[in-house]
Structure 1
Amino acid sequence: MTIEIKKCTVANLATLKELSIETYTDTFKDFNTPEDLKDYLHNAYNTQILTAELTNPNSEFYFLYVDKELAGYLKINVSNAQSESLGPDFLEIQRIYIRVPFKRMGLGKILLELGIKRAKELQKKRVWLGVWENNFAAQKFYQYMGFKKFTSHKFVMGDSVQTDYILKKELE
């Protein structure tokens, strides 16, 4: 198995949009109404929003390929690009999205480790991420990787108000 990671740019916009919608839908379609999911996907992954994210100097996207096939991606944020204002010492890992055929191959760990590596390179002291309160597998994984819950926030998806736990990891 050959793993390759490439930084994503505006030239990759169409692929990023398609991958975002596919992976988000696969993960959350069974937990939300079709209407709420459709509205969320339209608002979160439209061309204008993704272009703004891709051109923000405080955000970075990385595509992960397995044997030259696109398997998933990572999005990280610092400074004012963070989805919560946690301060200059933090790097946010906002998205680790893996396509269904590539789950359970350790790819999420590779992307998480890339996010931590970038935090260290950017001289951040902490990494944080949000995880849905009912995503127990992800919570267990993040705990295994050294993240601890320190707060929570509301995540609105259409008519549904959900809770995301905010986890952080202190860096050495």
Structure 2
Amino acid sequence: MTSIVLRKAVSADLQTLQQIGKETFYETFSKHNSEAEMQKYLAESFASEKILKELNTPESQFFIAWEDESPVGYLKVNSEKAQTELQDGTAIEIERIYVKSSHQGKKVGQLLFDKALEIARQQNKKYIWLGVWEENKKAVNFYTKNGFTEFAKHIFRLGNDEQTDLMMKKVLE
């Protein structure tokens, strides 16, 4: 495998973020949800206006993982009021680490996580937190391996389906 390079995303990367987001979310969750609910979620969650707003939020940062000229994953982190739930000024949230299935197991997720860790340390944060679907065992194991522990649960709605996300955090030294 050639080397993976991380680049900070800008507004011009909108379509790349949409494509990776839709593809990876569908790959991961379509077998557990109806096609109609998946298509509705993808259309709403990755709409141009929504992603552009996120890209232009100063407290949010996106980084795209590139293999040569191909995007293979991305990271979205939030601080301060951009955080989806806790909005704790001493923390940073990993809202998304999305890696194409073709590149899972090739350390792309680890590179993206390490970037989030670097940002948290640069900003002198006390911890990193995230929500992950309890049935996504691969992701739960990845975060556990990286020092995260469960501290709460919350409901994630995909259409009419209520799913349980584990809230996990990693305390930084």
Q: Which stretches of structure 1, 4 residues or more, deviate above 3 A after TM superposition?
A: none
Q: Helix, strand or coil: the match of 2:86?
A: coil
Alpha-carbon separation, structure 1, partners of 2:82 and 2:36: 28
SS in 2 for 1:165: strand
TM-score scaled to structure 2, two decimals?
0.96
Query: What is the Cα deviation at residue 99 of structure 1?
Result: 0.9
Q: Could you tell me which residue of structure 1 aligns to residue 168 of structure 2?
A: 167
SS in 1 for 2:85: coil
Residue 162 of structure 2 corresponds to residue 138 of structure 1: no
User: Unaligned 5+ residue runs, structure 1?
Assistant: none
1:123 deviation in Å?
1.1
Partner of 1:15: 16
Cα pair 1:73 1:96 within 8 Å, conserved: yes
User: Is 1:4–1:68's contact at 8 Å kept on the other side of the alignment?
Assistant: no
% identical equivalent positions: 35
Equivalence map 1:98-117=2 (5 Å): 98-117=99-118
Q: In the alignment, is the contact (CA less than 8 A) between 2:78 and 2:95 conserved in 1?
A: yes
> Aligned ranges for residues 50-65 of structure 1 at < 5 Å?
50-65=51-66
Aligned AA (1:135): N
The one-letter code matched in structure 1 to 2:46 is Y
User: In the comparison of the two structures, how many residue pairs are matched?
Assistant: 172
Counterpart in the other structure of 2:35:
34
Distance 2:101 2:135 in 1: 19
1:39-91 deviations in Å (ceiling 9; x for gaps) = 11111110110010000000000000123321100000001111112411110
Structure 2 residue aligned with 1:90: 91
* CA distance in structure 1 between the aligned counterparts of 2:64 and 2:78, rounded to whole angstroms: 15
